[in-house]
Amino acid sequence: MQSLNKILKNIGQSTANPTGVLTATKTDKSYQNFANFDLPKLKVALTGQKMVDISLVIHALQELYTISGIPLSIEAIHYNFILEEGVLQVPIKLKIEAHDYCLFLIYSEKCAAAFVDARNRLQTLKKYRAVYLSKVPMTGDQAPQSALTSLRFDHFRVSSQHPILENYAMWWSTSREPLFQHSKSLQDLEQISKALDGYESYFIGRFFKALEIPEFTGEEVKRVALPKKERTLTVIGPEEQVILLSFSQKKGIRLHFDRYNTPFGYRAAIIEQLCIAIQAYTIRLQLRDLPRDTTTRSRGPEWYLEMAEKNEEVIGFVDV
C-alpha cells in the first residue's frame, strides 16, 4: 500500500484547457440562436466531434468578435454548475460585453431536449443566457429532458494553490442550519465516513486516478494508506470553487470549504451528492469482496459522533 505523504510531494497543477486551433471544414448546416440576443451570427458548422467543435467554436468566436469590436472573453471550458439535483455541464462559458453566456453544442433531438432543460435551469439562476449551435433544427416545441449528471470524482481537479487553512471548515452555522447536530450535512458526512470505513485506501487511489495524477492513470486502482499526521490536498470543484481534502487515521477523509466565500447551497449540494457517489463506489468494492483496511483504518466515525455532541458554530478545521 502506497504512502500518501510521498505522493502528495509530487502532485502539481493539472490543466485541461485545449491548446492549438483547428481549421473549420465544410459540414452540414448548423442552427443557432445568437440573433435572439442581438449577437452576430457565427460562421461555423459542427463536425460531430465535441472537443474538435469546441476548438473550432472558440476560434470562430474570437475571430468574429475581434473583427466586430465586441468585448468577448472565454471564461471556461466544460464548466460544471452544482445544483441541488445534480451537475449541469456547460461546454463553453463566456462573457460578451456585460452578459454571461453558456454555449451548448447540440447534435441530436436528445441533445435538443437536454438543452431546453439546461436553459430552464439557467433562467432560474437569473444570470446566464443560454445560446446554442445545433446540427438539428430547434423548433421550439421540444419537451425538456434532464441535462443533469451525477457528481463524479472527475468533476474535481488538482490545484497548486495554498489556501489560508484558518478560512476552511467542514461546516459552519447559517440561518438555514444553525446547529450541526440537526443539519442534513451531518447526516451525509456521517454516511460518508461509515461508507469509507475500511475502504479509505481504495477511495484515495480511485480519487487520485480521477484527478489524473500520473502514477494512478492505469486500469488498476492503487491503494493509498491514510497517514497518522493529517495531510491536505487542494482541489478545484464544480463552479471553480477551491476545496481542501484532509486525510488522517484519526479523522478519516474530510472536505473543507472556504467559509467566507462558499454559499450554503453549494456546500450542502457537494456533501450530499458526494455522499451518494461514495456509497455507490464502496458498494461495488463490497460486491467484489475486497480486503478492507486494517492497520490504517480511520477513527472517523468516532470523531463525527464527538462533533455531533458539540454546539460550536464552526466544525472541522484542518489540523495544523
pLDDT of residue 100: 97
Q: Rounded mean pLDDT of 188-200? A: 95
Residue 17 predicted with pLDDT over 50? no
pLDDT at 18 over 70: no
Of 78, 25, 74, 80, the closest CA to residue 48 belongs to 25
Mean pLDDT of the chain: 91
pLDDT of 26: 43
DSSP state of 214: G
C-alpha dihedral (309, 263, 317, 198), degrees to nearest 10: 70
- Tell me the per-residue pLDDT of 79-114, one tens digit each, with 9 for 90 and over: 999 999 999 999 999 999 999 999 999 999 999 999
Number of H helices, E strands in the chain: 7, 14
pLDDT-above-70 percentage for the chain: 95
- Strands 231-236 and 128-134 turn out to be unpaired
Split at pLDDT 50, 70, 90, the class of 6 is confident
Domain ranges of the chain: 31-134, 151-315
Q: 24 — phi, psi (to 5°)?
A: -65, 145
With a threshold of 0.85, does the pTM exceed it? yes
Instruction: pLDDT band for 28, please (50, 70, 90 cuts).
Output: low
Please choose, from the candidates 188, 176, 166, 186, the residue with its C-alpha nearest in 3D space to the C-alpha of residue 258.
Answer: 166
How far are the Cα atoms of 64, 71, 109, 196, 238 from residue 26, in angstroms, in the given order? 18, 28, 22, 51, 35
**Please, what sign has the CA dihedral across residues 245, 78, 130, 100?**
positive
DSSP, res 149: B
Backbone angles phi, psi at 103, to 5 degrees: -105, 125
Q: Which tens digit of pLDDT belongs to each residue from 45-55?
A: 999 999 999 99
The three three-digit cell numbers of residue 175, written as one number? 440561518
Interval 206-228 mean pLDDT: 91
Whose CA is closest to 122, among 171, 92, 81?
A: 81
